[in-house]
Amino acid sequence: MDDDARLAFDLARDLDAAFERLVVVHQDRLFTIALRMLGDRGAAEEAAQDAFVRAYRALGGYEPARIRELRLRPWLSTIVLNLCRNHLTRRGRARPGDRSLDADRAIGVEPVDRAHGSPIAIVEARDARDAWAARVLALPPAYRGPVVLRHIDGLSYPEVAAALGRPEGTVKAQVHRGTALLRAMLEAEARRQPTEMTA
């Protein structure tokens, strides 16, 4: 039995006693998904919080057998992605690329894996992360979700497919299309920024 299956088992037995563990185990994931989908710390925190609250209320209405069978990782991903989608719809047509992006350091977000080494290496790693975050946000939402789940959250393809409610072949194609777009952005940026320097 893996950790999530054990957690689902405990949630089925005593929701109130086990719920805090669900939050502890999954809060970094849900916040990361929301932040990379929305690019806005406040909105991401709200979406992650709302996702857990909805999860709690849903679990409160499920039979224990149904809770035990839940695959918590994709199930929670579905909830937070739906909330992100609602948020993006509300935000209207303003494309994320058009608005100023919250750089991670400006909003006090800490990466799970901190950069090590010299101060310059740390600054460069930070700038590189901000640039990648901006590229992910520039993806069309249809590709952003699959790429975030697969490459940032680290879900397996079957889990991504379960989270998005789409066939596995479809999400594979969407992830590949998304990463191809990211590569194209990277190349376009490299063409725009000549590397030589004049003093």
Residues lying near another protein in the complex (CB under 8 A) are found at 16, 19-20, 23-24, 27-32, 35-36, 41, 45, 48-49, 52-53, 56-57, 104, 109-113, 125, 128-129, 132-133, 136, 147, 150-154, 156-157, 179, 182-183, 186
Candidates 51, 14, 56; CA nearest to 29 is 51
Judge contact between 153 and 62, C-beta under 8 A.
no
Least Cβ distance, residue 192 to another protein (angstroms): 18
Judge contact between 91 and 26, C-beta under 8 A.
no
Alpha helices in 1-71 (DSSP H): 3-13, 15-38, 41-61, 64-69
**Of residues 151 and 166, the one with the C-beta less far from another protein:** 151
Least Cβ distance, residue 121 to another protein (angstroms): 13
Least Cβ distance, residue 93 to another protein (angstroms): 25
Least Cβ distance, residue 92 to another protein (angstroms): 25
Give the C-alpha separation, 32 to 177, whole Å: 21
